[in-house]
């Protein structure tokens, strides 16, 4: 009956609005997350502290150092004079890499076979791997420049161009700004965690307080109870999506190239999955604490496996398979595509179907477990 | 005819793991009847009531409210009843009026009906002045009244109350019972709709099943059922129950009480000695009352005590309760 449903919805809304803590959580937390992840979480590796042992100390070696200074990747922070010195710097974490220029560098350069060596701190794999590729890049391009200069000096050719070159075009995110990558992810993360947690605790709270017993013994149907309890949180989740999109777009300059209504519809689909997870957790947990922990335990691994921070393609096959049952994985693809690529629903067919399947399954399972009884 | 019973529970059983919490309980209550369920903690009263309202599923047995099976036609059964659970709690963030409105609407009151009905019922229980107060800020007694109001707002034909007055002050307890009596003696004493004729017909009166630890409340019920270990071991009107111990309860007054008690307990025909305020109630073996009355005072005086009075009295329900609690089964 409509009236029963409306009265449950009204009651939930009143409870939420008069609970300042929950309201703050719902409205403010996404903003905090956004700023935190938008600024602090960057996968761009820059300004790696570099120690240099220049055993040559000639204009040529200084020219090489200039090439290093020119790129953003390294900061030349220390000039050392011995292995012991740089060992200490690496152990203390003050330097992450060491460039060693041998004593005969300038002579070897003229003869065409100079070699410099690099010691890298591998304990931070991200930094290490970036530094590794960066150093090759810098040295190669410097070497090419030297070759061209030498050829020009010896008059061999007006200029020598390297035989193979690559011209790159980065679509959608030309500057590879990590904020563009992070923020859609934040939308997904907030939606999944907040809605699941709030739903789970809202239902369990009735059980904890004892109000559920009164509610059971009324003509209200189980589906009315479920829908009535969930609807307010759906509404609030949409408010959050809206918030995040606004801040993301106007503050972080994340583009919104896709169709807004599609964004909202598909976010709604994802919200239903998260609500389903929350509802399911509420049928397992007996206290609010248990409910929160159950949701956390389910959500945290999902976030790691969803492709938010780490690319799924880089994971072992087994985990890649597991990621197929995580709705966030599909939603991330969708939201990133909608915001950055501006594609239509057709391109996202597979993901949409996956989300629908998941939502139906989880809601069915949760509803089946949800009983209007105390046992 | 089963139609005349508004609450019909037949041979209910409920197990919680190993515990046989409800062991073959049968309860049949008619319209207009107040039935009291008494028993010690853990006897199975709350579980029985929860089975009857459908909050728990019985392992075997049947139960129906106004003819609706509580398992198969649960929502229809629920529409007929009002329930006040032992752990009654309210939505603390909502006001008194919002709380009662919620229960009114969820129990089926229409949008043009709820307001007058809610105000009416709040008036009935004496909470009209507090309608805009947050439920969390009510005193214990007021919360219980609000609970009763929520259970009554749809004018149910059946009311189930699980220890509704525990923890409530004596004045409120009296108020509560006044409300219950008004409820069952006339149809809510409220302005009824023009459709209902003022028939003095029992069948339209509210039936109440109330569980209570208070013997004075039990005494006000039309029938009382005594539960122990999940079974109803005695059932009847308060008079019938009291008759079980007819001619078996003596009242002893004197001093010092400790001595009196000690001597009385030694008497082989005295089964039990209890303090009742400033006097002692002695329960004696059947037909031995006169014997004890004749010989006990001398024994007491022989040990240096003083006897003011020793005589047979009408038993009170407490005496019956104690006897039933201690009875061992052959």
Residue found by looking up tokens 């005594």 in the block? B226
Q: Is A181 helix (H, G, I), strand (E, B) or coil?
A: helix
Query: Chain A contact for B93, CB < 8 A?
Result: yes
Nearest CA distance, A243 vs chain B (angstrom): 27
pLDDT over 70 at B328, yes or no: no
Nearest CA distance, A27 vs chain B (angstrom): 20
Q: Which of residues 128-187 of B touch A (CB under 8 A)?
A: 150
Torsion, CA A168, CA A169, CA A172, CA A178, rounded to 10:
30
Residues of A with CB under 8 A from a CB of B: 1, 3-4, 6-8, 10-11, 14-15, 18-19, 209-211, 213-221, 372-375
pLDDT over 60 at B330, yes or no: no
Of B312 and A130, more confident: B312
Query: Which chain B positions have a beta carbon within 8 Å of A217's beta carbon?
Result: 53-55, 78, 81, 83, 85
Select from B14, B51, B55, B71 the residue whose CB has the most chain A CBs within 10 Å, as the one to mutate to test that interface: B55
* Nearest chain B residue (CA) to A20: B93
* Nearest chain B residue (CA) to A212: B89
Task: Tell me the average pLDDT across B108-136.
Answer: 87
Burial B151-163, CB ≥16 within 10 A → b, else e: bbbbbbbbbbbbb
Query: Which chain A positions have a beta carbon within 8 Å of B53's beta carbon?
Result: 217
Percent of chain A with pLDDT over 70: 93
Of B186 and A171, more confident: A171
pLDDT of residue A324: 84
- pLDDT tens across A248-272, in order? 888 888 888 888 888 888 888 999 9
Confidence of residue A287 (pLDDT cuts 50, 70, 90): confident
Contacts of B176 (CB under 8 A, 6+ apart): B144, B145, B148, B164, B165, B168
Cis peptide before B256 (omega within 30 of 0): yes
Query: How far apart are the C-alpha atoms of B226 and B160, rounded to whole Å?
Result: 17
Nearest one of B137, B59, B146 to B93, comparing CA atoms? B137
Q: What's the CATH number where B260 sits?
A: 3.30.70.100
Query: Chain A contact for B72, CB < 8 A?
Result: no
Query: How far apart are the C-alpha atoms of B323 and B317, rounded to whole Å?
Result: 10
Query: Chain A contact for B103, CB < 8 A?
Result: yes
Provide the residue range defining the domain that includes B78: 2-242
Q: What does the block give as tokens for B153? A: 């707002």
Confidence of residue B22 (pLDDT cuts 50, 70, 90): very high
pLDDT of residue A70: 82
Domain A48-153 superfamily per CATH: abc type-2 transporter like domain (3.40.1710.10)
Nearest CA distance, A5 vs chain B (angstrom): 8
Check B88 against A214: CB less than 8 A apart: yes
Of A127-141, A314-328, B303-317, which range is least confident? A127-141
* Nearest chain A residue (CA) to B14: A375
B197 in the same domain as B150: yes
B95 in the same domain as B35: yes
pLDDT of residue B190: 47
Beta-strand runs (E) in chain A: 48-54, 74-79, 97-101, 117-120
Query: How far apart are the C-alpha atoms of B222 and B301, rounded to whole Å?
Result: 43
Q: Is residue B8 part of a domain?
A: yes
Give CA angle at A105 (A103, A109), nearest 5°.
Answer: 165
Confidence of residue B194 (pLDDT cuts 50, 70, 90): very low
Query: How far apart are the C-alpha atoms of A99 and A116, rounded to whole Å?
Result: 7
B238 in the same domain as B278: no
Query: Which chain A positions have a beta carbon within 8 Å of B115's beta carbon?
Result: none
B166 in the same domain as B251: no
| Torsional class of B18: left (φ above 0), alpha (ψ -120 to 50), beta (otherwise) | alpha
pLDDT of residue A161: 62
pLDDT over 90 at B223, yes or no: yes
Residue B329 is given by DSSP the state P
pLDDT of residue B38: 94
pLDDT over 90 at B162, yes or no: yes
Of A8, A14, A219, the CB nearest to B107: A219
Q: Is residue B253 part of a domain?
A: yes
pLDDT of residue B197: 45
pLDDT over 70 at A198, yes or no: yes
Strand partners, B225: B37, B235
* Total CB pairs under 8 A between chain A and B: 81
Give CA angle at B121 (B119, B127), nearest 5°.
Answer: 75
Check B87 against A210: CB less than 8 A apart: yes
Of A34-43, A52-61, B102-111, B114-123, which range is least confident? A34-43
Query: Chain A contact for B98, CB < 8 A?
Result: yes
Q: What does the block give as tokens for B85? A: 């659970």
- Please identify, among B242, B277, B297, the residue that sits at the C-terminal boundary of a domain: B242
**Are the C-beta atoms of residues A151 and A144 closer than 8 Å to each other?**
no
Q: Is residue B228 part of a domain?
A: yes
Confidence of residue B25 (pLDDT cuts 50, 70, 90): very high
Confidence of residue B188 (pLDDT cuts 50, 70, 90): very low
Nearest CA distance, B222 vs chain A (angstrom): 25
B268 in the same domain as B174: no
pLDDT of residue B196: 47
B136 in the same domain as B56: yes
Of A7, A217, A220, the CB nearest to B81: A217
Q: Is A335 helix (H, G, I), strand (E, B) or coil?
A: helix
Select from A12, A214, A220 the residue whose CB has the most chain B CBs within 10 Å, as the one to mutate to test that interface: A214
Check B94 against A14: CB less than 8 A apart: yes
Q: What's the CATH number where B228 sits?
A: 3.40.50.300
Check A214 against B111: CB less than 8 A apart: no
Of B91, B101, B106, the CB nearest to A4: B106
Confidence of residue B195 (pLDDT cuts 50, 70, 90): very low
Query: Which chain A positions have a beta carbon within 8 Å of B107's beta carbon?
Result: 218-219
Task: Tell me the average pLDDT across A217-244.
Answer: 88
pLDDT over 70 at A59, yes or no: yes
Q: Is residue B327 part of a domain?
A: no
pLDDT of residue B237: 95
Check A3 against B105: CB less than 8 A apart: yes
B282 in the same domain as B209: no
DSSP symbols for B257-279: HHHHHHHHHHSTTEEEEEEETTE
pLDDT of residue A368: 86
Confidence of residue A41 (pLDDT cuts 50, 70, 90): low
- Residue A196's H or E segment, with its range, is helix A178-209
Of A40 and A85, more confident: A85
pLDDT over 60 at B189, yes or no: no
Nearest one of B210, B172, B286 to B39, comparing CA atoms? B210
Q: Is residue B319 part of a domain?
A: no
Task: Tell me the average pLDDT across A347-372.
Answer: 88
* Nearest chain A residue (CA) to B147: A214
pLDDT of residue B13: 95
Confidence of residue B198 (pLDDT cuts 50, 70, 90): very low
pLDDT over 50 at B86, yes or no: yes
Of A158-162, A240-244, B205-209, B282-286, which range is least confident? A158-162
Query: Chain A contact for B79, CB < 8 A?
Result: yes
Of A6, A220, A375, the CB nearest to B56: A375
Query: Which chain A positions have a beta carbon within 8 Å of B94's beta carbon?
Result: 11, 14-15, 18
Q: Is residue B269 part of a domain?
A: yes
pLDDT of residue B224: 96
Query: Which chain B positions have a beta carbon within 8 Å of A223's beta carbon?
Result: none
B253 in the same domain as B185: no
B251 in the same domain as B208: no
Q: Is residue B176 part of a domain?
A: yes
Check B55 against A217: CB less than 8 A apart: yes
Of A86-90, A189-193, B156-160, which range is least confident? A189-193
In chain A the first and final C-alpha atoms are separated, in Å, by: 26
Check B78 against A217: CB less than 8 A apart: yes
pLDDT of residue B1: 41
B219 in the same domain as B73: yes
How many domains is chain B built from?
Answer: 2
Percent of chain B with pLDDT over 90: 41
Nearest one of A375, A224, A219 to B74, comparing CA atoms? A219
Residues of chain A with CATH 3.40.1710.10: 48-153
Would the pTM of this model clear 0.90, i.e. be above it?
no
Task: Tell me the average pLDDT across A312-340.
Answer: 85
Strand partners, A118: A99
Query: How far apart are the C-alpha atoms of B224 and B209, rounded to whole Å?
Result: 10
B172 in the same domain as B290: no
Nearest one of B235, B247, B253, B327 to B291, comparing CA atoms? B247
Q: Is residue B323 part of a domain?
A: no
pLDDT over 50 at B193, yes or no: no
- pLDDT tens across A2-12, in order? 888 999 999 99
B284 in the same domain as B167: no
Nearest CA distance, A337 vs chain B (angstrom): 42
pLDDT over 60 at A158, yes or no: no
pLDDT of residue B44: 92
Of A93 and A179, more confident: A93
């Amino acid at each position: 009956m409509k009236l029963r449903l409306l009265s449950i919805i009204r009651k939930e809304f009143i409870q939420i609005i008069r609970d300042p803590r929950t309201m703050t959580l719902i409205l403010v937390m996404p903003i905090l997350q956004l700023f935190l992840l938008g600024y602090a979480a960057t996968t761009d590796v820059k300004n790696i502290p570099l120690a240099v042992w220049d055993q040559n100390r000639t204009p040529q070696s200084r020219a090489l150092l200039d090439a290093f200074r020119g790129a953003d990747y390294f900061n030349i922070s220390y000039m050392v004079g011995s292995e012991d010195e740089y060992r200490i710097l690496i152990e203390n974490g003050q330097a992450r890499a060491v460039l060693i220029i041998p004593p005969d560098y300038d002579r070897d350069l003229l003869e065409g076979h100079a070699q410099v060596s690099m010691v890298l701190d591998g304990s931070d794999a991200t930094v290490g791997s970036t530094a590794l590729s960066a150093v090759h890049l810098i040295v190669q391009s410097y070497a090419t420049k030297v070759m061209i200069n030498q050829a020009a000096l010896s008059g061999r050719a007006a200029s020598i161009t390297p035989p193979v070159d690559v011209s790159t075009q980065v679509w959608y995110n030309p500057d590879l700004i990590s904020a563009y990558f992070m923020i859609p992810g934040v939308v997904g993360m907030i939606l999944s965690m907040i809605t699941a947690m709030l739903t789970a605790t809202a239902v369990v709270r009735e059980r904890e307080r004892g109000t559920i017993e009164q509610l059971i013994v009324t003509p209200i149907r189980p589906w009315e109870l479920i829908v009535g309890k969930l609807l307010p949180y759906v509404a609030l989740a949409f408010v959050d999506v809206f918030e995040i999109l606004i801040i993301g777009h106007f503050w972080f300059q994340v583009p919104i190239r896709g169709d807004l209504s599609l964004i909202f519809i598909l976010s709604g689909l994802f919200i239903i999955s998260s609500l389903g997870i929350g509802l399911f957790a509420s049928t397992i947990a007996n206290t609010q604490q248990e409910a929160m922990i159950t949701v956390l335990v389910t959500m945290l691994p999902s976030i790691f496996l969803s492709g938010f921070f780490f690319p799924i393609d880089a994971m072992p096959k087994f985990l890649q398979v597991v990621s197929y049952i995580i709705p966030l994985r599909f939603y991330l693809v969708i939201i990133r595509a909608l915001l950055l690529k501006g594609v239509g629903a057709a391109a996202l067919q597979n993901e949409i179907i996956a989300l629908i399947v998941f939502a139906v399954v989880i809601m069915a399972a949760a509803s089946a477990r949800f009983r209007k009884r105390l046992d | 005819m089963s139609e005349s019973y508004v609450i019909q529970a037949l041979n209910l059983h409920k197990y919680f793991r190993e515990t046989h919490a409800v062991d073959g309980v049968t309860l049949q209550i008619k319209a207009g009847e107040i039935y009291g369920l008494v028993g010690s903690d853990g006897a199975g009263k709350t579980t029985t009531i929860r089975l009857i309202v459908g909050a728990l599923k019985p392992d075997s047995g049947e139960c129906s409210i106004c003819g609706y099976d509580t398992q198969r036609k649960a929502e229809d059964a629920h529409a007929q009843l009002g329930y006040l659970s032992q752990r009654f709690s309210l939505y603390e963030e909502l006001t008194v009026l919002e709380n009662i409105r919620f229960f009114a609407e969820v129990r089926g009151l229409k949008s043009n009906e709820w307001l007058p009905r809610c105000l009416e019922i709040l008036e009935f229980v004496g909470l009209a002045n507090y309608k805009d107060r947050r439920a969390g800020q009510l005193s214990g007694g007021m919360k219980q009244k609000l609970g009763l109001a929520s259970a009554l707002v749809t004018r149910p034909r059946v009311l189930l109350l699980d220890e509704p007055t525990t923890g409530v002050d004596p004045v409120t307890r009296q108020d509560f019972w006044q409300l219950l009596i008004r409820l069952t003696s006339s149809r809510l004493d409220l302005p009824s709709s023009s459709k209902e004729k003022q028939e003095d017909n029992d069948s339209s009166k509210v039936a109440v099943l109330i569980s209570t630890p208070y013997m004075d409340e039990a005494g006000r019920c039309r029938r009382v059922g005594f539960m122990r270990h999940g079974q109803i071991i005695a059932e009847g009107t308060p008079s019938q129950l009291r008759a079980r111990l007819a001619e078996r309860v003596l009242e002893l007054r004197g001093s010092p009480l400790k001595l009196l008690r000690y001597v009385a307990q030694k008497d082989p025909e005295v089964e039990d000695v209890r303090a009742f305020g400033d006097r002692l109630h002695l329960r004696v073996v059947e037909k031995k009352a006169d014997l004890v009355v004749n010989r006990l005072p001398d024994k007491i005086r022989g040990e240096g005590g003083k006897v003011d009075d020793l005589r047979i009295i009408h038993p009170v329900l407490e005496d019956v309760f104690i006897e039933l609690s201690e009875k061992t089964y052959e």
